[in-house]
Amino acid sequence: MLSRRDCLKAVFCTACFISTSGAFATQLEARWSQRAFFAAGSSLQAVKRHAFLRGAFGGSLDKKRFSTYLCQNIGYLDNYAACLDLLAVRLSRCQGFAQEVLELKQWARETRDLRVWTIDYVKRFTGRQVVPAEIVPLPELLAYQDFEARAAKSEDLGAAMAALLPCFWIWNEFGKALRPTAELHKNPFWEWVEGMGSEAADVSAQKAAAIADKLAQDGSQALQARMTDIFAAGCWLEWQLFDAVMR
């Protein structure tokens, strides 16, 4: 049973909610990322349904296709780290973004660490040494790398961040969706799967979205619409890379 104090707190909180709910709803509507996530919703659902991820999380994926994806991802991570570093340099010239610059630099370092881990993981998984320079990139990988690299050099920093956000958001969302039911026992891909959907990944995704929101908030409607289009396109490119290795 609630104490009198708890009842009074509940009444107070309800009153506060009634008086502020309209402002809170307006604030949510004003966040660019909420509209962008909605626009990319179909791409996210397609990614979560994709046979590559279903097979990896369930342990039934063809090992050759998995190793192909890992090798392609080595090139992707190299390019992605460079884009993060470039955006950090460009954002450092703007006032009020000191913390965001530090986060971008940290993510770039983590991405390069992940690249090193992936190279080692390919060797352990396949029993063969991989030489990144000898990996032939798929057309879908080249398209995604070019998409992010061009956006990172875009005149609008909001557009640059919108292009880099899908990698945070898509991976975090499918990780949270698929990880709880993942098959880890006797799963040959368990080392890759077990880190998905983590609290740390969720925090990073939220921070990345917050950076995009901050860049969008003072932008024109045209810029925000362009950011949304870029973000949605990047999410679909994530799906295409998964699909490419299956074909």
Q: Which of the pair, 25 or 145, is modelled with greater confidence?
A: 145
pLDDT digits (tens, 9 = 90+) for 66-102: 999 999 999 999 999 999 999 999 999 999 999 999 9
- 213/151 same-domain check: yes
Q: Which of the pair, 24 or 63, is modelled with greater confidence?
A: 63
- 45/125 same-domain check: yes
The pLDDT-based confidence of 197 (bands split at 50, 70, 90) is confident
Which residue's structure tokens are 């509507």?
A: 29
Helical ranges in the chain per DSSP H: 4-30, 32-39, 41-49, 51-58, 63-91, 98-126, 139-152, 157-178, 190-193, 199-217, 221-246
- 151/194 same-domain check: yes
- 54/21 same-domain check: no
Give the Cα separation of 97 and 162 in Å (integer): 16
What was the pLDDT predicted at 7?
Answer: 36
- 75/196 same-domain check: yes
Quote the domain boundaries for residue 24. 1-30
Least Cα distance to 67 among 109, 20, 33, 118 occurs for 118
For the entire predicted model, the pTM comes to: 0.86
**DSSP annotation of 155:** S
- 90/169 same-domain check: yes
Instruction: Please determine, for residue 4, whether its predicted confidence score (pLDDT) is greater than 60.
Output: no
CATH of the domain at 147: 1.20.910.10
- 57/172 same-domain check: yes
pLDDT digits (tens, 9 = 90+) for 7-43: 333 333 433 433 334 443 344 457 999 999 999 999 9
Query: Taking the alpha carbons of 215, 234, 119, 195 in that order, is the dihedral positive or negative?
Result: positive
- 5/40 same-domain check: no
- 4/63 same-domain check: no
What was the pLDDT predicted at 108?
Answer: 98
